[in-house]
Amino acid sequence: MKRRTTILSLFLGCVIAAGGFAAAGENAEVILKKIDENRVSGNKIILSEMIIHGRRGSRAIRVKSWVQGTEKSFSEYLDPPRERGTKMLKLGDQLWTYYPASDRIILIAGHMLRQSVMGSDLSYEDMMEDPRLQGNHAAAIAGEEELLGRPCRILDLEARKADAAYPRRRLWVDTERFTVLKEELFARSGKLLKTTTVESVRRFGSRWVPDRSRFKDAMKEGQGTEFVVHEIEFDADIPESLFSKAALKK
């Protein structure tokens, strides 16, 4: 199955406030369209931090990422020293990782996609999933609730493809900014698999971005994995040469 996303697609609900919920009416499909329009942007450079809370304590990994639409991304781990120089390249539905300690480039495919990324609550499969909701899911409005002081509509989604990683989803959508403030991912049986909770939202230029989120794998113990966005440069000038396997060893 072809999966298309940016490397940080699960992490950024980037939006421009494009009119209130009233403009979208009560049509769940229109809401999905608004979410997609807000999530998918052009070139951007992101400085972020992933804080992994494990059984033996917590550790933070600082990452710089260059993203081009939904097809291309290049990420480099900056800290801590033991992870420094590790790089990831996504081109379409392929993902490579470079490990400086072994000077090897590894294609992440097959069963490896289900493995944890750096011991976090996220898998490579999560990162490779198609970020677009409309067209990939049937949706229905299930209710409303307030999160972070923001009015939200609750949407229940069902994947249209039988082999989707998460057949069912529940979203809490800010009804003015069309950011997803909470997401629950379920198996077809209804068993909860993962939860994403946005803890704060910050404005970068004209866009509202969840700048602190927490991801929790229901199958794992601990406090989950935090993702913090420190800086974002939108409409950035990124050289095309960066999105190549040759760039992984530079």
**DSSP E strand stretches across the chain:** 44-54, 57-68, 72-79, 87-91, 94-99, 104-108, 137-147, 150-159, 168-174, 180-186, 192-204, 207-217, 225-234
* Collapsed DSSP state (helix, strand, coil) of residue 125: helix
Question: pLDDT tens digit string along 93-135?
Answer: 899 999 999 999 999 998 898 899 988 999 988 877 767 788 8
Task: Kindly tell me the sign of the dihedral angle through the C-alpha atoms of 196, 197, 200, 206.
Answer: positive
Query: How large is the average pLDDT for residues 24-33?
Result: 78
Query: How large is the average pLDDT for residues 79-96?
Result: 94
Q: Which residue has the higher pLDDT, 88 or 162?
A: 88
- Let me know if residue 247 belongs to a domain: no
Question: Contact, 138 vs 144, CB < 8 A?
Answer: no
- Let me know if residue 10 belongs to a domain: no
Does pLDDT of 238 surpass 70?
yes
Q: What is the pLDDT of residue 71?
A: 85
Query: How large is the average pLDDT for residues 62-68?
Result: 95
- Let me know if residue 1 belongs to a domain: no
- pTM for this entry: 0.82
Average pLDDT along the chain: 86
Query: How large is the average pLDDT for residues 192-211?
Result: 91
- Let me know if residue 13 belongs to a domain: no
- Give residue 55's domain range: 21-235
Rounded CA-CA distance 152/146 in Å is 6
Does pLDDT of 1 surpass 70?
no
Question: Contact, 77 vs 63, CB < 8 A?
Answer: yes
Question: Contact, 107 vs 96, CB < 8 A?
Answer: yes
Number of domains in the chain: 1
- Which helix (H) or strand (E) segment holds residue 12: the answer is none
Query: How large is the average pLDDT for residues 174-184?
Result: 93
Q: Give residue 193's pLDDT band: very low, low, confident or very high (50, 70, 90).
A: very high
Does pLDDT of 56 surpass 70?
yes
Q: What is the pLDDT of residue 18?
A: 35
Q: What is the pLDDT of residue 227?
A: 95
Residue 244 CB contacts under 8 Å (≥ 6 apart), including other chains: 89
Q: Which residue has the higher pLDDT, 214 or 126?
A: 214
Query: How large is the average pLDDT for residues 190-205?
Result: 94
Mean pLDDT is lowest, of 35-39, 49-53, 116-120, for 35-39
User: What's the CATH code of the domain at 159?
Assistant: 2.50.20.10
Does pLDDT of 160 surpass 60?
yes
Q: Which two tokens stand for residue 167?
A: 């057949």
- Let me know if residue 3 belongs to a domain: no
Rounded CA-CA distance 173/185 in Å is 15
Q: What is the pLDDT of residue 26?
A: 58
- Let me know if residue 7 belongs to a domain: no
